[in-house]
A and B are shown apart, each in its own frame.
Chain A
């Protein structure tokens, strides 16, 4: 990311924008068609999700707008469709387009929320383990190993099922979004912790850290002010991969009935609700949200791939 323009020290300072304009990041972005298309599609997704209440023809959460007689209508290019429902309707008569827009919103919120939680835990634990070393390192990394030896989905299923059993389905439905963020966030923090720890170990041996120590700076400041900014590029790269992973995990959990309830469907629960009707000919209820999910995850992964190549070709591939 550094602009390796060895300028004369007396030359006028480039502004932040000029720095960005000259950067390798932008240069490689301009030359990479896949990255450009991916970013455009991703931004379109986010915009649609954010603007869902204004874009969607109807509010799928509002029971008064749902007409059960209009259920299982096909999308517009098939005979028997209703022009009011562009992508058809699901089994409860909800407009599929609106439901997908709202569902993508839920999926993205959970994806980003879970990744924020993972990153917070992983970065803090990774920094502590890498910088302090010794017993703390051993303890945190064994914890991460244990965590990684369970599959994410299994942890999520167990926790989800427990919460559902203890507090009841209604409570679970009411707090489904924060719960899913918590479950997916807790299950995947070791990814961050390990990568951050590895970068910290590499940075810790550099002399600027020794310089900070001989200055007498407190460990906390050395960790967060000196080492953390130098480990950001791998964190960015994992984050893209992890957002895609979190969205998939959420979809999988919803598909298994441990995620978003039918009344507030995410893409995963939409796929699940349509799955029962796939044999009866109403394939669109499952396949359209499924295609949307695939495209969303694909563009995030493609962006992550591009970012990884730009920032550091030697990085781990998630």
Chain B
């Protein structure tokens, strides 16, 4: 795939100017979670003096991403690398500690609840666990009507129920399920309902946080196809969080690889799978089991992922990277665009030590 193939698919409503602008821009995003409890718990005696000490988990530190209209950007990375935190911060469930998030050119991370409402309609989220994401005390009809009533307060009862019937049809759930409660359904059915809820307000951007990893394997493909159909029919843009590289290959337009709260490589899917650049991405790709390999050449990484409480200096990957040198230990690498449309954050690649 070439660089031009990653150019945004034109949104039908988008004019030339809008089409050129990324739908979502994340700049220098950081999120820290305090580990130290409240103010009184932070006070400590050190060397006869009362000092205030705070420790943080650096869930994400300095993430830059752009999501173009119509694409499905997959974010991959191991557990605890901050994928879900990025998704939740984009959706406004968490407030970023630093950095900014722009949606369609407008900064949204510092908006008031009221000012955010138009964006809430345009961006929706699908959650990982369909057993927890439906309110057990609400019927499916109530669950689906709620976002519609909230965002279209002027709609009549008939309009609302027509819309509910329409989204239920589009995700393949029968109209007479509406009177039932979430616990009466299987995981795949519930995830369809959760997708219907997200689609009910006709969003243009959907954040999906591991939407199929809690599902039975036989159901995963169905739900994935449903998401792809919805993307085609409704011109959706996805931010898709997953660990499943097979899903990425099938679903993603571009892939962002994260490690310890930073993006180490962003590339068009085919490029990334064919020629991974970043040492971490190479190790990740070599770990995919392949049928044709009887003697797999896994790249074995030494050691453990460093704790996100005390981040390593320089490149977060340097302690495990076979190509690390003195510069890697001191200087944080920035994402640098390459000719093939990918961006890599690695000093070795930049210097040509590694191709």
Within 8 Å of chain B (Cβ to Cβ): is A279? Answer: no
Among A4, A206, A211, which residue has its beta carbon within 8 angstroms of that of B194?
A211
Within 8 Å of chain B (Cβ to Cβ): is A21? Answer: no
Kindly list chain B residues whose C-beta atoms are within 8 Å of the C-beta of A5. 184
B199 CB, nearest partner CB in chain A, Å: 12
A217 adjacent to B125 (CB under 8 Å)? no
Within 8 Å of chain B (Cβ to Cβ): is A13? Answer: yes
Interface 9-residue window, one of B171-179, B285-293, B305-313, B329-337: B171-179
8 additional A-B residue pairs with CB within 8 Å, beyond A215-B124, A215-B146:
A9-B180, A9-B185, A9-B189, A13-B179, A207-B129, A208-B134, A216-B113, A226-B135
B215 CB, nearest partner CB in chain A, Å: 14
Kindly list chain B residues whose C-beta atoms are within 8 Å of the C-beta of A13. 176, 179-180
A206 adjacent to B132 (CB under 8 Å)? yes
Contact flag A216-B184 (CB < 8 Å), given A207-B128, A230-B135, A230-B136:
no
Within 8 Å of chain B (Cβ to Cβ): is A149? Answer: no
Among A4, A9, A206, A217, which residue has its beta carbon within 8 angstroms of that of B146?
A217
A210 adjacent to B127 (CB under 8 Å)? yes
6 A–B contacts from the bound complex (CB under 8 Å): A207-B129, A208-B132, A215-B124, A215-B147, A215-B201, A216-B116
Within 8 Å of chain B (Cβ to Cβ): is A7? Answer: yes
Within 8 Å of chain A (Cβ to Cβ): is B92? Answer: yes
Among B127, B132, B174, which residue has its beta carbon within 8 angstroms of that of A9?
B174
Kindly list chain B residues whose C-beta atoms are within 8 Å of the C-beta of A4. 183
Q: Interface size for chain A: under 10, 10 to 19, 20 to 34, or 35 or more residues?
A: 20 to 34
Per-residue CB contact flags for chain B residues 109-142 toward chain A (1 = under 8 Å, else 0) read: 0000100110011011101110011111110000
Q: Which residues of A197-226 have CB atoms within 8 Å of chain B's CB atoms?
A: 206-208, 210-218, 226
Within 8 Å of chain B (Cβ to Cβ): is A138? Answer: yes
Kindly list chain B residues whose C-beta atoms are within 8 Å of the C-beta of A208. 132-136
How far does the alpha carbon of A104 sit from the alpha carbon of B320 in the complex, in Å?
76
Residue among A4, A7, A10, A213 with max Cβ neighbours from chain B (10 Å): A213
B180 adjacent to A216 (CB under 8 Å)? no
B136 adjacent to A2 (CB under 8 Å)? yes
B135 adjacent to A10 (CB under 8 Å)? no
How far does the alpha carbon of A216 sit from the alpha carbon of B92 in the complex, in Å?
10
Within 8 Å of chain B (Cβ to Cβ): is A83? Answer: no
How far does the alpha carbon of A138 sit from the alpha carbon of B185 in the complex, in Å?
39
A214 adjacent to B124 (CB under 8 Å)? yes
Among B125, B151, B197, which residue has its beta carbon within 8 angstroms of that of A210?
B125
Looking across the interface, which residue of chain A has its beta carbon closest to that of B137?
A229
Q: Which residues of B contact A (CB under 8 A)?
A: 38, 88, 91-93, 113, 116-117, 120-121, 123-125, 127-129, 132-138, 146-147, 150-151, 174, 176-177, 179-181, 183-186, 189, 194, 197, 201
Closest 4 CB pairs of A and B: A216-B120, A207-B133, A229-B137, A207-B127
How far does the alpha carbon of A138 sit from the alpha carbon of B133 in the complex, in Å?
28
Contact flag A2-B183 (CB < 8 Å), given A10-B174, A229-B137:
yes
How far does the alpha carbon of A134 sit from the alpha carbon of B93 in the complex, in Å?
16
Kindly list chain A residues whose C-beta atoms are within 8 Å of the C-beta of B189. 9
Contact flag A230-B137 (CB < 8 Å), given A13-B179, A207-B128:
yes
Looking across the interface, which residue of chain B has its beta carbon closest to that of A9?
B177
Looking across the interface, which residue of chain B has its beta carbon closest to that of A216?
B120
B278 CB, nearest partner CB in chain A, Å: 31
Kindly list chain A residues whose C-beta atoms are within 8 Å of the C-beta of B125. 210-211, 214
Within 8 Å of chain B (Cβ to Cβ): is A6? Answer: yes
B121 adjacent to A216 (CB under 8 Å)? yes
How far does the alpha carbon of A6 sit from the alpha carbon of B18 in the complex, in Å?
48
A211 adjacent to B137 (CB under 8 Å)? no
How far does the alpha carbon of A77 sit from the alpha carbon of B301 in the complex, in Å?
92
Q: Which residues of A88-137 have CB atoms within 8 Å of chain B's CB atoms?
A: none
A215 adjacent to B120 (CB under 8 Å)? yes
Kindly list chain B residues whose C-beta atoms are within 8 Å of the C-beta of A216. 113, 116-117, 120-121, 150-151
Q: Which residues of A7-29 have CB atoms within 8 Å of chain B's CB atoms?
A: 7, 9-10, 13
Kindly list chain A residues whose C-beta atoms are within 8 Å of the C-beta of B146. 212, 215, 217
Looking across the interface, which residue of chain B has its beta carbon closest to that of A6?
B184
B202 CB, nearest partner CB in chain A, Å: 13
How far does the alpha carbon of A263 sit from the alpha carbon of B23 in the complex, in Å?
76
B93 adjacent to A213 (CB under 8 Å)? yes
A44 CB, nearest partner CB in chain B, Å: 33
Contact flag A207-B132 (CB < 8 Å), given A215-B147, A216-B151, A217-B146:
yes
B92 adjacent to A211 (CB under 8 Å)? no
Looking across the interface, which residue of chain A has its beta carbon closest to that of B119?
A216
Contact flag A211-B197 (CB < 8 Å), given A10-B176, A13-B180:
yes
Kindly list chain A residues whose C-beta atoms are within 8 Å of the C-beta of B201. 215
Per-residue CB contact flags for chain A residues 227-246 toward chain B (1 = under 8 Å, else 0) read: 00110000000000000000
How far does the alpha carbon of A186 sit from the alpha carbon of B135 in the complex, in Å?
32
Kindly list chain A residues whose C-beta atoms are within 8 Å of the C-beta of B123. 214
Kindly list chain A residues whose C-beta atoms are within 8 Å of the C-beta of B135. 208, 212, 226, 229-230
